């Protein structure tokens, strides 16, 4: 897939060359050497799910670029009162230069992209979180370059699935450690393989982190999965990223936030010098600015 489609619904909507260009631009926007701006551009932001990093980074990013972002929650537009999504898409596509949507169902962001006559960016769905992957890859570049081994430990969720595909595009080795019943979708692993990746899959978190330069985790109970809490806490016993798991390694630790401290990661690890979580959070801003420039400039 390629951004010639004008939409960014998952990380491999970029070609590897485009991904590299976006990351280069993100680094340049961050250090001030790229002064590209999007004067008067408008970004409509649809939110079904609450957000800190997604909302603030996109809104701040558009302001930095000389444009404007507007927050559209369920009670702010007719979408929350029964208007078909395709109708909302058609209208926003005529008002805005781009639409960013943070939704539950991935098919909904695909519908937006089908009917909106402007670029659509996936700010998160239950299947994918490509904007987070851009920030993750930028953070890894800054920390360790590209010759790096990352261990994903925990749930095979939307963040992990986009990351595995993006890592394959960037030439990063990944080991995925999940409980068997919460593994990543085989189709996602196949996409990574088709892009040159060779992710190792295991149910043993200790084996996964043994040779890792970076250990990455995310929450076990995502928004909308609260009724699965007890079952998941039992299934993920042994998968917590804590000092015993990391003992004997020099691995840095990544987390996309928000963190459930004491569940998937301990407070002492998240607050330690190993933690890259705050760099990841900052890099959402720079990576998304670069993406918007790629889409709109």
Q: What are the binding residues for carbamoyl phosphate?
A: 51-54, 78, 102, 129-132, 256-257, 284
155 is catalytic: no
CA 55, 228, 220, 131 torsion-angle sign = negative
In the set 155, 256, 274, 288, the catalytic residue is: 256
Phi then psi for residue 96, to 5 deg, are -105, 160
Q: Is position 129 annotated as part of the catalytic site?
A: yes
Tell me the C-alpha distance between 150 and 175, whole Å: 6
Q: What is the DSSP string of 15-56?
A: -HHHHHHHHHHHHHHHHT------TT-EEEEEESS--SHHHH
* 132 labelled catalytic: yes
Residue 102 is a catalytic residue: yes
* No. of helices (H) and no. of strands (E), the chain: 12, 9
Length in residues, the chain:
297
Contact 98, 296 (CB under 8 A): yes
Contact criterion met (CB below 8 Å) for 84 and 107: no
Residue 118 falls in the annotated catalytic set: no
From the list 25, 55, 102, 255, the catalytic residue is 102
Which residues are part of a known binding site for L-ornithine? Answer: 158, 218, 222-223
Annotated catalytic residue, options 149, 284, 286, 288? 284
Distance CA 88, CA 90 (A): 6
What's the distance, CA 77 to chain centroid?
A: 26
The residue from 25, 55, 129, 274 that is catalytic is 129
Instruction: Give the up-direction half-sphere exposure of residue 172: CA atoms within 13 A in the CB hemisphere.
Output: 31
Annotated catalytic residue, options 25, 108, 218, 286 = 218
CA 96 remoteness from chain centre: 23
Positions at the binding site: 51-54, 78, 102, 129-132, 158, 218, 222-223, 256-257, 284
Active site includes 218? yes
Residue 70: beta bridge partners?
Answer: 44
Q: Give which of 250, 76, 218 is closest to 154, Cα–Cα.
A: 218
Phi (first) and psi of residue 39, to 5 degrees = -60, 130
Closest CA to 232 of 189, 270, 178, 185: 178
Which residues participate in catalysis according to the annotation? 102, 129, 132, 218, 256, 284
């Amino acid at each position: 897939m390629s951004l010639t489609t004008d939409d960014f619904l998952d990380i491999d909507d970029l070609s590897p060359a485009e991904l590299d260009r976006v990351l280069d631009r993100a680094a340049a926007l961050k250090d001030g050497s790229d002064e590209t701006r999007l004067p008067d551009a408008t970004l409509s932001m649809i939110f079904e799910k609450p957000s800190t990093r997604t909302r603030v980074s996109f809104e701040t990013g558009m302001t930095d670029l000389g444009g404007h972002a507007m927050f559209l929650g369920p009670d702010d537009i007719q979408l929350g009162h029964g208007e078909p999504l395709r109708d909302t898409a058609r209208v926003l596509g005529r008002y805005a230069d781009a639409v960013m949507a943070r939704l539950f169902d991935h098919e909904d962001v695909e519908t937006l992209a089908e009917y909106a006559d402007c670029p659509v960016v996936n700010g998160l769905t239950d299947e994918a979180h490509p904007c987070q992957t851009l920030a993750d890859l930028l953070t890894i570049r800054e920390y360790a370059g590209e010759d790096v081994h990352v261990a994903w430990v925990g749930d095979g969720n939307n963040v992990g699935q986009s990351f595995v595909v993006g890592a394959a595009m960037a030439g990063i080795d990944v080991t995925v450690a999940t409980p068997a019943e919460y593994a990543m979708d085989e189709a996602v692993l196949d996409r990574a393989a088709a892009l040159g990746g060779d992710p190792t899959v295991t149910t043993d978190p200790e084996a996964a982190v043994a040779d890792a330069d970076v250990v990455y985790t995310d929450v076990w109970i995502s928004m909308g999965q609260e009724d699965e809490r007890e079952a998941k806490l039992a299934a993920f016993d042994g998968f917590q990223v804590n000092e015993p798991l990391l003992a004997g390694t020099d691995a840095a630790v990544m987390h996309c936030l928000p963190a459930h401290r004491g569940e998937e990661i301990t407070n002492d690890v998240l607050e330690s010098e190993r933690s890259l979580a705050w760099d990841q959070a900052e890099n959402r801003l720079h990576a998304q600015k670069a993406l918007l420039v790629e889409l709109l400039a």
